[in-house]
Amino acid sequence: MDSREFVRTAPGLDGMVVSAVGYRTEGQRPGLHRGLPSPYLTLIFSLDGTIATGSTPDQATGADATRTDIVVGGLHQSPAYVVQPEHEAGIQLAVHPLASRALLGLPAAGLAGQLVVGGTDVLGATAAEVRERLCDLDRWEDRFALLSAYLRRRAAGAEDTAGTVRPEVAEAWAWLARHRGAGTLGGLSRHVALSERRLTALFRAETGLTPKQAARLMRFQHAKTAVARAVAAGAPPDLARVAADTGYYDHSHLVRDFQQYTGMAPTGWLAEECRNIQAGAHGRGEE
């Protein structure tokens, strides 16, 4: 029998983790899941075997797949393909990219160019011990508490080793978020009192993205969430209205971003994801 369990919690990590979701599925048809680009880093602790990923379906299912039981994913601009076995379980976190130094020990730009990195390569051997302890626990609340405590310990000792985020970059990210990705680079550079060139260089050095790329991801995230909420509520999404409400020039502009970030048109993505959306699984770790 096909069963799905998704448990969300408030991370309680001072905004460093945007969302935390525990998931367990059994009896599902094996296939591939599209991990879509978002403005957040991904951290997954598998509780049920290794996770196989790739930048293409063939890579994810082939010998070149990245296989790890702790996944660290940077900011990316095309879908990641994740093998979905008959049963799986884990905890997925959406990590704010400016918290990467504190929680992961390196700036988010350090993950640029790598779709997925093995968690112990970034977090060290202690992460494997934490994962084993997570697997031994039976209750989601105990697992979340253990993981939160582990990340708090990492953050407490990170400043001396990983450095800090420049205040101009932190304010630039906050400004883009307030504008839901719809602000201009000129307006942003004036706000932080830096030239566009200098701001772009500092922003990329910290996050791995330019401000324009980050803004596009934020705008797409809002649009995708609006579309998914309409489907979850049982209503057909009005893509033209979603485009207008989330800062796109028009409907075709939204469609182009969907094609880049999902590899397909909005209608195709909805057909593929409809069941996940209705089950409450869509966007796990990405709210």
pLDDT range class, residue 267, cuts 50, 70, 90: confident
* Token pair in block for residue 9: 């919690």
Tokens 């880049």 belong to 260
166-287 placed in CATH 1.10.10.60: yes
- Give the pLDDT confidence score for residue 4 in this predicted structure: 84
In this structure, of 43-57, 186-200, 250-264, the range with the lowest mean pLDDT score is 250-264
Tell me: pLDDT of 286 over 60. Answer: no
> pTM for the complete prediction?
0.92
Tell me: pLDDT of 244 over 70. Answer: yes
- Give the pLDDT confidence score for residue 170 in this predicted structure: 97
In this structure, of 59-73, 106-120, 230-244, the range with the lowest mean pLDDT score is 230-244
Q: Which of 125, 133, 173 is nearest to 149 (CA)?
A: 133
Share of the chain above pLDDT 90, in %: 71
Would you give the DSSP letter of residue 95? Answer: E
Supply the mean pLDDT for the chain. 91
Tell me: pLDDT of 200 over 60. Answer: yes
- Give the pLDDT confidence score for residue 278 in this predicted structure: 58
* Token pair in block for residue 52: 């196989």
pLDDT (tens digit per residue) in 208-219:
999 999 999 999
pLDDT (tens digit per residue) in 114-154:
788 999 999 999 999 999 999 999 999 999 999 999 999 99
Select 3-161's CATH number: 2.40.160.20, 2.60.120.10, 1.25.40.10, 2.40.128.20: 2.60.120.10
Start and end residues for every CATH 1.10.10.60 domain found in the chain: 166-287
Tokens 């309409």 belong to 230
The helix/strand/coil state of 87 is coil
Start and end residues for every CATH 2.60.120.10 domain found in the chain: 3-161
Contact between 72 and 42 (Cβ < 8 Å): yes
**Average pLDDT for 240-246:** 91
Q: Which of 36, 57, 42 is nearest to 91 (CA)?
A: 42
pLDDT (tens digit per residue) in 48-92:
999 999 999 999 999 999 999 999 999 999 999 999 999 999 999
- Give the pLDDT confidence score for residue 287 in this predicted structure: 46
Tell me: pLDDT of 224 over 70. Answer: yes
- Continuous segment of H or E residues that includes residue 227: helix 211-232
Q: Which of 244, 239, 248, 246 is nearest to 269 (CA)?
A: 239
